[in-house]
Structure 1
Amino acid sequence: MLLRSITQLNRFSCLCLFFIASLLLRCYTSSHAQTSKTTQPESYYSLDDFKTVEKFDTHVHLNTTNPALIEQAAEDKFRLLTINVDAPTYPAIDDQQRLANQHRKAFPNRLAYATTFSVENWTSNDWSKQAISYIKNSVAQGAIGVKVWKNVGMTLRDNTGKFVMVDNPRFDPLFDYLAKNKIPLLGHLGEPKNCWLPLDQMTVKSNRDYYTKHPEYHMYLHPEYPSYEAHIQARDRMLAKHPDLRFIGVHLASLEWSVDEIAKRLDRFPNMAIDMSARMAHLQYQAITDWQKVHDFLIKYQDRILYATDIAVDQTATSADTRKRAHDTWLRDWRFLTSADVMTVPSIEGSFKAMRLPRSVVDKLYSKNAQKWLLGITTLTKGAASR
């Protein structure tokens, strides 16, 4: 009897030991597989891959009948989003929309467009109804987003002469409509922080050159206008009021001077993304002194950043100049994001190391994020796939 009990106990002990050993083996195998997976070497693009990788530039302004920019985009494997703007130096909004649809008809798999709205009749009682009606009509014609421009906050005034900021309650019905219908709002609100600094304190040469030539736009010389901080705070208040609004802060959300400040907004507003248009130099400037911070920012927020340039083409531009400018810009940016080269660029003084981002991150910046944040833009890729 005693022997039988001991034998049974030994069998039970063996079963327990076998079970524990199996668990340990399984855990080790799973952990080893996971470790092996995570330690696989990253894959990277080369400069030559620029010619073959399909890409999006989600911020251009095509204000001409000349298709040279689109033709260069096709050669360089880009699809484009042309954005209508309520800007005094651009054609009328209706003309911008006509041009966009004309080019879309000629290049259905290469170009999409975003509409805008006018603030010309801002003081009328039915302004918001008019603006929403125009947006509805634009979307029916194929627009995939709506642009709000810096005239809100910088030139638009109410009946009392006070500047109208983007968190003004009269915008609420329009932004509610966009949120309800999942139409993204692309916001250029404010200007680079350099605009409010003396020329000798500006961080980017291109800003210094521009405001030297255009002192009328140099806000440092015009303290009667809203401050830089007032623009940012009004934008943040607007986003807090409309948490369901899909918002793309163009030009690095006018926080180009600090990736830390951009990160704070991306953390605070989960429906917010940014594009890089006309602000790549500010990332490069920060890379001179803290390459790791810029690199880590691009890695951490890789799902929230869209590649864009802000290339603008009007009727005065020649085909040759348009194509060269676009190609040079696109290739230079590709080098900055994909290589490990030490670079210099015309916009800033000094050299910096390129970002050397993994292929998986580059694919998001150049393509996947455009399709995620600008839902209608997927028609371009579907059209291309069906050819």
Structure 2
Amino acid sequence: MRDTLLAADLQPRSELIVPEHPVLRAKYPAIDAHNHLPVDHPRMQEADIAHLVGEMDLLNVQAIVNLSGGTGETLQRNLDGLDHAYPGRFVTFCNVDWTGVGSPGWTERAVTALRQDIAVGARGIKVFKSLGLTVRDTAGQLVMPDDPRLADIWAAAGALGVPVLIHSADPVAFFRPLDRFNERWDELQRRPEWSFYGPEFPAFEELIASLYRLIEAHPETAFITAHVGCYPENLAFVSEMMDRYPNMVTDFSARIAELGRAPYSARDWFLTYADRIVFGTDATPLVPMYQTHFRFLETKDEYFDYAPGAAIPPQGRWRIYGLYLPDDVLQKVYHDNAAALLKLA
């Protein structure tokens, strides 16, 4: 018998026996409003898009939103490879090129590029977490989401009637010391570049405050906050922000692990804000991944893997519980809310 076992080697198998109810298809046509399918990426160049569309049919996934469309010629390649090649099945967002931010005329050029991108078919703007973490102006200073030099971009989005899907910060644990108390230790060991603890980065709280100042400053612009208001660890805070800012919608992409470990609060949150939550995954569009999301939303199953097949759960060593959402909420979350934002049928 071993006297010691490294925590990193621990992979306990649950002996709990409870009913299981796999869900093979979404109960209502689903719009995955948060995904990344950049056609220039090697992964996508090797992908069989027609096969993916066939799997979408089997899963009852009506459309997938590609948030990595880029801008200019890159955007056009994404539109041609996805939206135009498979009408109604893919929706592409454009991105802002932060190169040269702070230089004379940069804001005007960025707004012009946005208008051109929307004119050729982009259905919204995706802002990555790099804004606030790594984007720097020409003077070398970090650029925060509510930087006044960016205000005209957000105003233009509102005037054009397109949403801004924005990701600020990251899981709270990514901003904490990587020690024995960090609940995402396994994940950060695998991806050390996701650790934002240290003086070179803003604090989590600073980034979140900047995000919500931005949303407050532009009430005429629709903002989709990624990953449960960018703060899924604190649903009370996210609820307060949603009450305060009617122009805020949120997805729950890549966060069923967070929501599923607090199922009572999560279910109440979905019921309360059913008109303002959109389905999204932020994950490689594979059949088991989607079916796990469906099970989380539709069933009352207990203590199941949020990432089936993973030896160690990737976002924390716990399991999740289903929310058994009612049909009217499922219809809105799966389809209606995103369809309204994106002007889809």
Q: 2:272 aligns with which of 300, 315, 323?
A: 300
> Relative to structure 1, is the Cα distance of residues 268 and 186 closer, same or farther in structure 2, using a 3 angstrom cutoff?
same
Amino acid paired to 2:170: E
Structure 2: which amino acid aligns with 1:332?
T
Give the number of aligned pairs: 307
> 5 Å matches for 1:68-217?
68-78=51-61, 79-84=63-68, 94-95=73-74, 97-199=76-178, 200-203=180-183, 207-217=184-194
TM-score, normalised by the number of residues in structure 1: 0.74
Q: Secondary structure at the match of 1:201?
A: coil
Superposed CA offset, 1:233-280 (max 9, x none): 111111121111100001112111111111011011101000111111
- Tell me which residue corresponds to 2:15: none
Give per-residue Cα distances to partners, 1:329-385, cap 9 Å, x unaligned.
Answer: 11011111111111322434344431111011011110011112223xx1xx3xxxx
Please tell me whether the aligned partners of residues 24 and 59 of structure 2 are also in contact (alpha carbons under 8 angstroms): no
Tell me, in whole angstroms, the C-alpha distance in 1 between the residues paired with 2:137 and 2:60. 45
For 2:294, the equivalent position in structure 1 comes to 334
Structure 2 counterpart of 1:353, which letter?
Y
1:193–1:254 contact (8 Å) kept in structure 2: no
Query: Structure 1 residues 328, 97: closer, same or farther in 2, change over 3 A?
Result: farther
Residues 93 and 116 in structure 1, CA contact (< 8 A), matched pair in contact too:
no
Equivalent residues in 2 for 1:1-387, closer than 5 Å: 50=25, 53-63=28-38, 64-65=44-45, 66=47, 67=49, 68-78=51-61, 79-84=63-68, 94-95=73-74, 97-199=76-178, 200-203=180-183, 207-220=184-197, 222-285=198-261, 287=262, 291-312=263-284, 326-345=286-305, 346=307, 347=313, 348-375=316-343, 378=344, 381=345
Query: Does the Cα contact within 8 Å between 1:85 and 1:149 map onto a contact in 2?
Result: no
> How far apart, in 2, do the equivalents of 1:48 and 1:225 lie?
41
Tell me which structure has the larger Cα radius of gyration.
Answer: 1
More helix by share: 1
What SS does the corresponding residue of 1:274 show, helix, strand or coil?
Answer: strand
Alpha-carbon shift at residue 97 of structure 1 (Å): 4.3
In structure 2, what residue type is equivalent to 1:368?
A: D
Residues 65 and 90, structure 2, Cα contact 8 Å, conserved in 1: yes
Question: Match of 2:36, SS?
Answer: strand
Kept after mapping to 1: 8 A contact 2:69/2:92: no
Structure 1 residues 330 and 182, CA gap change in structure 2 (3 angstroms):
same
CA distance in 2, matches of 1:280, 1:97: 33
Q: Which amino acid aligns with 2:54?
A: E
Is 176-185 or 343-352 further displaced after alignment?
343-352
1:309 positional shift? 0.5
> What SS class does the counterpart of residue 80 from structure 2 fall into?
helix
Aligned partner of 2:60: which letter? K
For 1:201, the aligned partner's letter is F
The Cα shift of 1:189 comes to 1.3
Cα distance, 1:186–1:97 mapped onto 2, change above 3 Å: farther
- 1:123-146 CA distances to partner (integer Å, 9 max, x unpaired)? 321111221222222212211101
Alpha-carbon distance in structure 1 between the residues aligned to 2:340 and 2:163: 11
Could you say if the C-alpha distance between residues 226 and 132 of structure 1 is closer, same or farther in structure 2, counting changes exceeding 3 Å? Answer: same
Q: Percent identity?
A: 27
CA distance change for structure 1 residues 363 and 58 in 2, over 3 Å: closer, same or farther?
same
Q: Distance in 2 between matches of 1:250 and 1:140?
A: 25
C-alpha distance in 2 between matches for 1:165 and 1:308: 25
Runs of 4+ in structure 1 off by over 6 angstroms are: none
Q: How many angstroms apart in 2 are the aligned matches of 1:158 and 1:135?
A: 19
Structure 1 spans left out of the alignment, 5+ residues: 1-45, 87-91, 313-324, 382-387
Shift of 1:191: 1.2
Give CA-to-partner distance per residue, 1:79-130, whole Å, 9 cap, x none: 11111266xxxxx874354133322222102111111110012132111122
Contact 2:23 2:292 in 1 (8 A): no
Partner secondary structure for residue 273 of structure 1: strand
CA distance in 1, matches of 2:101, 2:270: 39
Pair 1:115–1:159, CA change in 2 (3 A): closer
Asked if the contact 2:257/2:319 (under 8 Å) is kept, the reply is no
Consecutive unaligned residues of structure 2, counting only runs of 5 or more, are 1-20, 39-43, 308-312
Q: Secondary structure at the match of 2:260?
A: helix
